[in-house]
Amino acid sequence: MILDVEELTMRFGGLTAVHAVSFQAWGGEITALIGPNGAGKTTVFNCITGFYRPSGGKLTLFGRNGEVALQKLAGHRIARAGVARTFQNIRLFPGMTVLENLLVAQHNRLMAATGWGIGAVLGLSRYPAAEAEALERAKHWLNATQLLDRADDPAGALPYGAQRRLEIARAMCTEPVLLCLDEPAAGLNPRESDELSALLLQIRAQGTSILLIEHDMGVVMKISDHVVVLDHGRKIADGTPAEVRADAKVISAYLGEGDEDEAA
Amino acid sequence: MTPVAAVRDAGLAALVAFGLFAPLVGLRTDVVEGGLALRGRWDDVAWLVLLAFVGRLALLLLAGRRLPRLTLPAPLARAGQYAAPFFLGLALLLPWLPFIERYELDLGILVLTYVMLGWGLNIVVGLAGLLDLGYVAFYAVGAYSYALLSLTYGLSFWVCLPLAGILAAFAGVLLGFPVLRLRGDYLAIVTLAFGEIIRVVLTNWTELTGGPNGLSGIPRPGLFGLSFTSEEGGFADFFGLDYDPVHRVIFLYYLILGLALLTNWVTLRLRRQPLGRAWEALREDEIACRALGINVTVTKLTAFAIGAMFAGFAGSFFATRQAFVSPESFTFIESAIILAIVVLGGMGSQLGVAVAALLLIGGTELFRDLAEWRMLIFGAAMVVIMVVRPRGLVGTRTPSIALGEKRAIGGTYVSEGH
């Protein structure tokens, strides 16, 4: 198990966006979180990645350094514990180059090598080696996302699909144990969707678990190992893609009666 | 609109102007003995009507056209690569150029002080994207730190300089904490208030700071223990030169040049390192920074602290050069000028900031003969520059690292932060 969500509840004033949701994400698997708009998927994400503090419940990450209670950590510490995320509306650093985006993602590791800033200014540290290593890691992910030839272009100048890929590459440069993707296939054409699926499978093969919010059922059903369905802030189903697709509650709440062929 | 129609329209405007100005301006009653006399001022009316005609015509013919964006022709842009070495060489050789007198050296010192302040503020505003309207507060902290430390404890300039920097950096952190959660206009207002608080404290804490009278008799710096006086054992005596008060001015010039270059060197190095990149990332997108595990609080505080530290250095230089400090030197207008230098130069660009400081500070000195027209020209020039080059003199961003060749990033992609 990589992530254990227990009785997660999130209230905004009088509105309960997420109501006692529990599920598990398993190590080395792709877990998809699906449901209609407003079901609370992104809220769950924001709780896991530290952008919201949950009103109740427990979030346990089984990371490299043992168990971590995510609900108690400050936002930037969650990323350091090994949870990386992308955003529904892409959030890159548009005025910085693609390569710079990937180096910012490795900030903590690089910063530690600079002797907290002072040593590197004076040229007294092991920074050059750390930077070379960071560049190699950046190149690896640029290769994996087919962005190597755009490395020196500003991120804001990339086409939409490439920006989506860059955001994933940037998240992977933090070397996460759990990668949280918020609608990575939104706005992609079918060919780009297929490439995305291949990329996510490649990431899983390298040992990073993935938690995925997605509306594109083609992608979800093809690559997920495990699907959790939310509706109105509650979990209504949890299982393999085939089980979920056959679930009556899921069909009525989300997939719809006539949508089986689309889902296939 | 065709020219004929435009002329007709302008003629109509001139007619309306005549109808208005003829009674308002053309006829004037003067008090004379035995009553009022009517006097015609028809030449004034003619000028006003002509102005209305030409103005309307210009408006009609030029309206709707896009204002030209000033792009440098290729040879000039290539020459721009040599601008930085050229200015550096000029700055290094300035005291030895034949036409340079005491006045020009003093002006050079003034310009370099603002270059240094601009570079310091550039860290906060240009790189980290935090709009700071109270930067002069740190300048004041540095100046008073040196003044008080040297007057009270008799410490030398070289001991006080780092101390003043540390104290100013501490003030930067102090300001940083309450404003961490603020963005944009709110951030600007709080920093503005902080600047005013420091000034008001300096004015009213009379026992410590001398209040509005300021502190005078601040010791001058020496060069490795050699003082710039005519006495025996002074700089001139030691090197067997004839005593000349200009020695001290040249020394001060090189001192501020060295401090400014230190600021530049540290900034350029930091920009190519994780901390500098994190500042720029913070300017681009704070939320994304947090998702990548960057401690936004610490990163912002370091930007405030390092920016403030350089203002502190510049402040102690200011105090030692003037031998006198008073709260009047640290008013809001100083902050505004430094911010104008950064914005005009192109936020984040070291060369742009230096050129802007030269234009703004040197330029206003150059037009001193124009007396009250000076600020008018100054203001108009700033408006024109911002209209034709909305991203400042150097509106592009140079990447900090590249796999291939570094290509400048157009201003349209780079966010301004705040």
pLDDT along chain A (264 residues), means of 10: 92 90 92 91 92 92 88 87 92 94 92 72 75 93 93 93 94 94 91 93 93 90 92 91 89 71 46
- CA-based nearest distance B272→chain A, Å: 10
Within this chain, do residues B110 and B29 fall inside the same structural domain, yes or no?
Answer: no
What are the structural domain ranges in chain A? 1-82+176-264, 91-175
Q: Looking at the structure, do residues B53 and B172 belong to the same domain, yes or no? A: no
Q: What is the pTM of this model?
A: 0.84
Test A95 with B414 for CB contact under 8 angstroms: yes
Q: Is residue B401 part of a domain?
A: no
Q: Are residues B263 and B384 in the same domain?
A: yes
Chain B neighbors of A94, CB-CB under 8 A = 284, 413-415
Give the nearest chain B residue to A170 (CA atoms). B292
Phi–psi pair at B366, nearest 5 degrees: -60, -35
Residue of A nearest to B270 (CA): A121
In this predicted structure, what is the pLDDT of residue A264? Answer: 41
Contact B292 A105 (CB under 8 A): yes
* Interface confidence (ipTM) of the complex: 0.89
B24 and B99 both lie in a single domain: no
CATH class, A91-175 region: alpha beta
- Say yes or no: B31 and B170 in one domain: no
A111 has a chain B CB within 8 A of its CB: yes
Two domains, one topology: A1-82+176-264 and A91-175: yes
The residue out of B37, B62, B87 marking a domain boundary is B62
Condensed to tens digits (0 to 9), the pLDDT of residues A41-99 reads: 999 999 999 999 999 999 999 988 888 898 888 888 899 899 999 999 999 999 999 99
Measuring CA to CA, which residue among A224, A222, A260, A255 is closest to residue A33? A224
Per-residue pLDDT tens digits of chain B, which is 418 residues long:
677 888 888 899 999 999 988 888 888 888 888 788 888 888 888 999 999 999 888 888 877 565 555 565 566 566 667 888 888 888 888 888 888 888 889 999 999 999 999 999 999 999 999 999 999 999 999 999 999 999 999 888 889 999 999 999 999 999 888 887 887 888 889 999 999 999 999 999 998 888 888 898 888 887 776 777 777 767 777 777 777 778 888 889 999 999 999 999 999 989 988 999 999 999 999 999 999 999 999 999 999 999 999 999 999 999 999 989 999 999 998 999 999 999 888 878 899 999 999 988 888 887 777 767 777 877 887 888 888 888 888 878 888 888 888 888 888 888 877 6
Structural contact between residues A234 and A19, judged by C-beta atoms closer than 8 angstroms = yes
Are B295 and B159 in a shared domain?
Answer: yes
The verdict on B182 and B149 lying in the same domain is yes
- Nearest by CB to A91, from B287, B302, B414: name it: B287
Indicate whether B189 and B143 sit together in one domain. yes
Q: CB A75 to CB B291 under 8 A?
A: yes
Q: State how many domains chain B has.
A: 2
CATH 1.10.1270.20 fits A1-82+176-264, yes or no: no
The pLDDT of residue A148 is 92
- Asked if the C-beta of B291 comes within 8 angstroms of chain A's C-beta atoms, the answer is yes
Are A86 and A96 a contacting pair, CB within 8 Å?
A: no
Based on the fold, state whether residues B40 and B169 are members of the same structural domain: no
Give the 3-state secondary structure of chain B. Answer: CCHHHHHHHHHHHHHHHHHHHHHHHHEEEEEECCEEEEEECHHHHHHHHHHHHHHHHHHHHHCCCCCCCCCCCHHHHHHHCCHHHHHHHHHHHHHHCCCCCHHHHHHHHHHHHHHHHHHHHHHHHHHCCCCCCCCHHHHHHHHHHHHHHHHHHCCCHHHHHHHHHHHHHHHHHHHHHHHCCCCHHHHHHHHHHHHHHHHHHHHHCHHHHCHHHCEECCCCCCECCECCCCCCCCHHHHCCCCCCCHHHHHHHHHHHHHHHHHHHHHHHHHHCCHHHHHHHHHHHCHHHHHHCCCCHHHHHHHHHHHHHHHHHHHHHHHHHHHCEECHHHHCHHHHHHHHHHHHHHCCCCHHHHHHHHHHHHHHHHHCHHHCCHHHHHHHHHHHHHHHHCCCCCCCCECCCCCCCCCCCECCCCCCCCC
Domain of B30 in residue numbering reads as: 3-62
- Chain A segment 123-152 residues within 8 A of B by beta carbon are 127, 135, 139, 151-152
Measured between its terminal Cα atoms, the distance across chain A in Å is: 28
For helices B296-322 and B157-179, what crossing angle results, to 10°?
Answer: 140
Hey, are the CB atoms on B290 and A127 less than 8 Å from each other?
Answer: no
Residues B157 and B18 in one domain: no
Q: A262 to chain B, minimum CA–CA distance in Å?
A: 34
B94 inside domain: yes
Q: To probe the interface with A, which of B286, B292, B412 has the most A CB atoms within 10 Å? A: B292
Q: B44 and B188 share a domain?
A: no
Task: Check CB contact under 8 Å for A92 and B288.
Answer: yes
Helix or strand holding residue A172 (H, E): helix A160-172
Residues B285 and B313 in one domain: yes
| Burial state string for B38-70 with b = 16 or more CB within 10 A and e = fewer than 16 | eeeeeeebeebbeebbeebbeebeeeeeeeeee
Ramachandran angles phi, psi of A2, nearest 5°: -105, -35
Q: Would you say residue B407 lies in a domain?
A: no
Residue B378 belongs to a domain: yes
| Percent of chain A with pLDDT strictly greater than 90 | 65
Sign of the four-CA dihedral A143, A144, A146, A150: negative
Record: contact A76-B266, CB cut-off 8 A: no
